[in-house]
Structure 1
Amino acid sequence: MKPVVSYLTEDRHPSVVRTLLNRQAHMFGGESTIASYVADAGSPEFDSLIVTRDNRTRGVILTRRRFPETVEVHLVVVDDTVHRTGIGSFLLREAADRARHAGAKMLTVRVLAEGRGHQGWVGVRAFYEANGFIPLDDTGPTVLLAKHLPELEDWERSE
């Protein structure tokens, strides 16, 4: 299901990230963690995509280029009132599309490993796996997941 998106922007809006994270503080840790994500949202080191629907910000993704071949998903946060409507998946597809067009071959993300952190993280790994990510490494407190980005010609044919 493709969500109805009224607006997608690349602008940086740390206050929007703070608002979304504050509404879901139970998922993203304490104030220091939230403050760190908010600072990242204002940093030119990170690319930002913001989805607006019904005149409200509904989701944000922050990514950054780690290596020429890879783009890391640093943060995905979706307004809890519209969870499971496709906005998170839409943001991942947009980020993957932009990464592929910029020459990246892989999209990566780190999530807390099972049994670590808050129970709210239980479905996070399943969300990424449902969006084509596979586990690569589970040493330490996180699991590294990755999604192969096909060659641009194959990517455009599949759209």
Structure 2
Amino acid sequence: MTIEVVEGRSASDTRRILEALPDWFCDPAAIDNYVEATDDPRYESMVAISPTGPVGIALSRRHFHEAAELHLIAVDPGARRSGVGRSLVERVASVLAADGCSLLSVHTVGPSFQNEPYAHTRAFYRSVGFTPLEEHDGLDWPGPTLILVRPLQAADREEDVR
């Protein structure tokens, strides 16, 4: 699948993709919050576009000059396991590293909560260079949240991900 990752915002595509992923995004209020963040200028937004249209979204937020958070990444079910998520992460990392950011973090459901879809999510994050840092209960939801981190290096600045 040919994918181009570009800076852009599309609240309607964010909603469409999240609603198509009920194993991860089943809370309507959470979906509304992510859709709202898509239009919030405090978040950088990347969109993965295939020949048929947008198939992925990534939102990141810079907390400090040196550190940012991958706030959201979601890929349309029909495009999963085709490199879209990896392309989004690499593009986010590249843009952040080029601007002097040295650390990217992400939060997800922790491993002490038995859930197969989130086990796949954690495996994906590890496959794109994130390392588990710590797990906390009640951080983003009542259950366990795993914080993963990825150092951004000169190699990330040289990525030309499309």
Q: Are the equivalent residues in 1 in contact too, given 2:6–2:48 (CA < 8 A)? A: yes
- Is 1:144 paired with 2:147? yes
The structure whose residues are more often helix, as a share, is 1
Match of 1:58 among 38, 55, 67: 55
Structure 2 partner of 1:111: 108
Q: Assess, with a 3 A threshold, how the Cα gap between structure 1 residues 28 and 157 changes in structure 2: closer, same or farther.
A: closer
Q: Are the equivalent residues in 2 in contact too, given 1:27–1:118 (CA < 8 A)? A: no
Structure 2 partner of 1:20: 17
Task: State the one-letter code of the partner of 1:144.
Answer: I
Q: Distance in 2 between matches of 1:132 and 1:99?
A: 15
Q: Are the equivalent residues in 1 in contact too, given 2:94–2:158 (CA < 8 A)? A: no
Show the 5 A alignment for 1:27-106. 27-106=24-103
CA deviation digits over 1:12-62, x for unaligned, max 9?
A: 111110000011123113101101100011100100000111222111100
Q: Are the equivalent residues in 1 in contact too, given 2:107–2:147 (CA < 8 A)? A: yes
Q: Are the equivalent residues in 2 in contact too, given 1:26–1:118 (CA < 8 A)? A: no
Q: TM-score, with normalisation over the residues of structure 1?
A: 0.89
Q: Distance in 2 between matches of 1:56 and 1:80?
A: 14
CA-based RMSD? 1.9
SS at match of 1:84: coil
What count of residue pairs does the alignment treat as equivalent?
154
| Gapped regions of structure 2 (runs ≥ 5) | 138-143
| Gapped regions of structure 1 (runs ≥ 5) | none
Q: Tell me the percent identity.
A: 27
Q: Distance in 2 between matches of 1:117 and 1:38?
A: 27
Structure 2 partner of 1:4: 2
Q: Distance in 1 between matches of 2:123 and 2:101?
A: 24
Q: Are the equivalent residues in 2 in contact too, given 1:77–1:88 (CA < 8 A)? A: yes
Show the 5 A alignment for 1:127-138. 127-138=124-135
**Highest relative contact order (Cα 8 Å, sep 6+), 1 or 2?**
2
Q: Distance in 2 between matches of 1:44 and 1:147?
A: 24
Q: Are the equivalent residues in 2 in contact too, given 1:61–1:74 (CA < 8 A)? A: yes
